[in-house]
Amino acid sequence: MIIGDVIVDKYIWGDVHRISPEAPVPVFETKAEETGCGGAANVAQNVASLGGNAILVGVIGKDSEGENLVQMLTETNLVTTKVCIDAERPTSTKTRVIARANTTFTSCEPDSGHHLLRIDRESKQKISPGMRKQLLDTIVSQLPTSDAIIFADYDKGVVNAQLIKDVVKHAQPYGMPIIADPKQNNFWHYEGITAVTPNHTEAGTAVHEEITDVPHLVAVGEKILNQLSLKALLITRDAKGMSLFQRKPDGTLKVEHLPPNSSIVTDVTGAGDTVVAVFTLALAANAEFHNAALLSSLAGGIAVGKMGCATVAPKELLSAIENMEPIPKL
């Protein structure tokens, strides 16, 4: 079950060849547009792509973006009946304006797929108590048939401290893994869940420090692991791979630094969605934390080689496992 902020991702592709005579800004000539599922919806798509049954619980607005999102999810065979409609808020939408590789613009030469601008249309207000109760009722009804929970938290107001507390309380008797991919607002409200998967910037911001080297990373990771009473912490580190933190049976810290698994980085958008989806799906299938992290690292490496919020197919992940040296024991 994926709980969190459902987002529409729009991409506008085009060319920039000159400066506007009206103001010192580039003239962008639109050539193509594409719309996809982002945020919690992208996490759900990644789970479904690898054969999992994804239950998406979130909120959309009563608008055309929300209708389009439901249609896109339905086309990928995802159940959308657990997505609530709130007429008081818009469907979160991120529009990225991207200059194509053939663009020639002398004062600002873009490389392949250069992001010129991102336009956000959203509400970051907390959902109403009534909407929170509606979400919680939906979540509780799905717990008996769920094997794991993911909080896909983008600080858009759907997830809040009370919802997290209530979900953890109701899920506890089932003993299922609860994983969060947190931003900042709720970072310290995930105490007692199984694991969190922040990137290194989010981890540093949470403790009000800028991570400068590996020893500093380890110190920050241990602080988060202890303060949230986690079983594991997975910090993604972009081109440097990821680091897995656990406690050994004797209570000492165990840290594993997994190398990056991406030869080509096209777009990092949504890579964290892929990581948390694969990490949690593996844990739900009774994998150990090490193997779950290894699989998520391989999947993340595949996702960043694709433009936009991408999913990973089983054959792609199997190929990555087969080509990895040494081949992991799964």
Domain residue spans of the chain: 2-7+38-90+122-323
Alpha-carbon span 240 to 260, nearest angstrom: 6
Global pTM reads 0.89
Q: Count CB atoms within 10 A of the CB of residue 199.
A: 19
Token pair for 178: 């609860």
Give the class (CATH, top level) of 2-7+38-90+122-323.
Answer: alpha beta
Q: What does the chain come to in residues?
A: 330
Phi and psi, residue 318, nearest 5° = -60, -40
Residue with tokens 């336009």, as numbered in its chain: 119
The reported pLDDT for the residue numbered 269 is: 59
Contact (CB, 8 A) for 3 and 54 = no
DSSP letter for each residue of 263-306: S--S--TTHHHHHHHHHHHHHHTT--HHHHHHHHHHHHHHHTTS
Amino acid residing at 71: Q
Catalytic residue, from 15, 181, 267, 273: name it: 273
Q: From first to last of its 330 residues, what are the pLDDT tens digits of the chain?
A: 999 999 999 999 999 999 999 999 999 999 999 898 999 999 999 999 999 999 999 999 999 999 999 999 988 878 788 999 999 999 999 999 999 865 544 333 334 468 899 999 999 999 999 999 999 999 999 999 999 999 999 999 999 999 999 999 999 999 999 999 999 999 999 999 999 999 999 999 999 999 999 999 999 999 999 999 999 999 999 888 899 999 988 889 999 999 887 655 555 556 889 999 999 999 999 999 999 999 999 998 887 766 656 788 889 999 888 888 664 444
238 counts as catalytic = no
Q: What is the spatial distance between Cα 280 and Cα 292, in angstroms, rounded to a whole number?
A: 7
Contact (CB, 8 A) for 18 and 63: no
3-state SS assignment for residue 83 = strand
- 183 Cβ contact partners less than 8 Å away, ≥ 6 residues apart: 153, 154, 155, 202
Query: What are the C-alpha distances in Å from 96 to residues 39, 183, 206, 265, 308?
Result: 15, 20, 27, 18, 10
